[in-house]
Structure 1
Amino acid sequence: MWKSYLLMISVLVVSGCASSDNQQAEFDKSLYSGKPIEALTNDEPPKTEEEAISRGDAALTNNNVDLALYEYLRSMTFADAKHKDKTLYTVGRIHLAKNDYQLADRAFRAALEQNPNHTGSLEELGKLNTKQGRSDIGESYYLRAINADQLRLGGTPNMKSNNINSENVQNLLFDDNSPIHAYIGLGVLLDIEGQHQLAQTLLNRALDIKTFDVNALISIGYSYYMSEDYERARYYTNLALKQKPNDEKAINNLALIAIAHGEPRQALSIFNRHMTEPEALNSVGYFLILKGEPDEAIPYLQQAINKSPAYYAKANENLERALEMIRKERDTSKVTL
């Protein structure tokens, strides 16, 4: 009888362990934000990770973002969950769409805990940190994304901040799934540092990955503008506008290129595409000031003031700045004489 009792206890212990292994983890509320969970659904809980993900996909398709977020997070409570890195990446993208950058950052970093080489999360962390002024951290994530991609493609993941050069970039392996945003982001950071040729090499590689990517076209156009290659700058910016005719950044860049090329009237016409006439006139005047041509700026600023009393303050401030620059130039020339 005693042996039977011991056997029963051991069976209970074993069965208890087995049921514990099958238990789901607790729902992680730290990555959820939205409507109260109780108000989201009355459906039976999902039985598998795949079912929860499928529910999340359906909710996202129906633009029910909070329910999608809830279902995706529920998919990670299963002990045998295999897609946590991809799910956390999707969760991060949802938080980005909701402009919740803190939770997005947390989700992407959690994805990297599951898979340190998840290129999408590495790219997004690069963009997030760069956007928030932490360009050194942003650069490190972009480099990690490129290295992770080399590992995927069977290459050598050896890109570091101290060995980025045109030859190394041109030797990188790539395909249609390579992290284009990492190449663009890194190129833009190098452009800001004044390394225009290297930036253009990276941005050209981004265009190898996706020929008509608007962000890559705008970025390389601006890079050529920065390096005073205005013909190429205009060419790539116009290509971007063919893909996305109303892109304000591309329109503004095209106007800047026209001003740099000595064509302020053309710049005015370009600005007029998405600005009122007084705003366009003020913008041309402002950029002529930045170009060091205050005398050319004055007529545009005066017209802006005349056409819109409501716009007077801003244009008048720029006019005063232009006049002050001219006065200083005259004083300097008198001293030289």
Structure 2
Amino acid sequence: MIRQKAVLPILLAAGMLAGCASTPSTGGGDEYGVFYEGESEATYSTAFPVSSPEEAYRNGDSAAQTGDYDRALYEYIRGLRLEEAPPTEVLYKIGSIHHARENYRLASLAYRWALEIEPNHAAAGTGLGVLYLEARQYEAAKAQLEPVVNATEAAPWRAYNALGILADMDGDPVSAEQYYQQALTANPRSPQILNNLGYSRYLVGDWVGARNALQQALNADAGYELAWRNLGLVHAREKNYRSALEALGRTGEESEAYNDVGYVSMMSGDYAQALAFFNKAMHLSPAYYVTASENARNAERMMQRGPAIQ
């Protein structure tokens, strides 16, 4: 088996999301308590008293901005307990915190509840659609996200970005690029969008377009490993092997970089060069020997069959 890493930046959720109940029930009369996972609530209630839901929400926003998500959740939930009906935006914020923490069930629950109250809430709709994408429920993701972008010209960039990924997966690069460009209109320097656009151009063999987008992604975030990896693949396709090894070397072991550049050069028909890269990978890392040696055998078989049709 020739082993290659996936390069689409999709985090995989632990389970399926369909069929979750919207409004939670804990059986104890507190429908909001299910969303809290953190330190004892008594700690916050005595240290930070509040007189209104709005004050609790302000405290929650301040805590979220500093990364104190336990307290942010506590403050949002404390505010909700003081309300007659939950504000949609607060439910969305709770969902986004759980989403960031990869608590996918609770994120889905909060997003769904928000949408039950306000079906056209673009941010909650986007959050749920992205959850579907991360859970590999692609048709559900598309069905959730398309109405979001069709409902407003100012849809969240994440909705356009996710639809771009789905279009690439469907083999529709024209639609994918349109979605990525719309996402960039809302968030011009997003390394994630630029990386996805670069990989989209890579998929159709537009090495220049791919390289330009990926370099922009790295200008925005020089430490973005996924963009370095994709840029390395582009350089390998261009047979700029030195640059390819340098880029891929930023994302993992040197032996892995040599193996990956070898794989791309083999797929491009450069069998002798590929074999040299595989041999180098085997020399650098005994742990990588099985993968690289298998690739080397494939390269030798391809060499024996003759040159690739370009």
Q: TM-score, normalised by structure 2?
A: 0.81
Q: Which residue does the alignment assign to 1:144?
A: 147
Hey, what does 2:295 align to over in structure 1?
318
Match of 1:267 among 244, 261, 275: 244
Deviation at 1:27, TM superposition (A): 5.2
1:326 Cα offset (Å)? 4.2
Change (3 A) 1:234 1:128: same
Q: Partner of 2:88 in structure 1? A: 85
Tell me the equivalent position of 2:181: 204
Identify if the C-alpha distance between structure 1 residues 92 and 270 changes in structure 2 by more than 3 Å, giving closer, same or farther: same
Matches within 5 A, 1:1-337: 26=30, 28-43=32-47, 46-61=50-65, 63-81=67-85, 84-148=87-151, 150=152, 173-174=153-154, 178-291=155-268, 293-326=270-303, 329=305
Aligned-pair CA distance for 1:58: 3.8
Q: Distance in 1 between matches of 2:259 and 2:239?
A: 17
Q: Is the 8 A contact 1:214 1:243 kept in 2?
A: yes
In the aligned structure 2, how far is the partner of 1:180 from the partner of 1:62? 23
One-letter code aligned to 2:264: F
Which moves more between the two structures, 233-242 or 28-37?
Answer: 28-37
| Deviation at residue 55 of structure 1 after TM alignment | 2.7
Shift of 1:313: 3.0
2:18 aligned residue = none
In 1: Cα distance, 2:193 partner to 2:290 partner: 36
Deviation at 1:253, TM superposition (A): 1.2
Q: Which runs of 5+ in 1 are unaligned?
A: 1-24, 151-172, 331-337
| 8 A contact 2:53–2:83 mirrored in 1 | no
Aligned AA (1:322): A
SS, match of residue 81 in structure 2: coil
Structure 1 length normalisation: TM-score? 0.75
**Which residue does 2:25 correspond to in 1?**
none
1:166 corresponds to: none
Q: Which amino acid aligns with 2:77?
A: L
Shift of 1:322: 2.9
Residues paired across the two proteins, number: 278
Higher RCO (CA-CA < 8 Å; seq separation 6+): 2
Gaps of 5+ in 2: 1-28
Q: Which amino acid aligns with 2:114?
A: A
Give the share of equivalent positions with the same residue, in percent. 32
Distance 1:63 1:246, change over 3 A: closer
- Find the aligned partners of 1:112 and 1:43 in 2 and give their Cα distance: 33
Structure 1 residues 59, 205: CA separation in 2 closer, same or farther (over 3 Å shift)? Answer: closer
What's the CA shift for 1:42? 2.1
Render the CA deviation track for 1:126-155: whole Å, top value 9, x for unaligned: 11111111011111121122133x2xxxxx
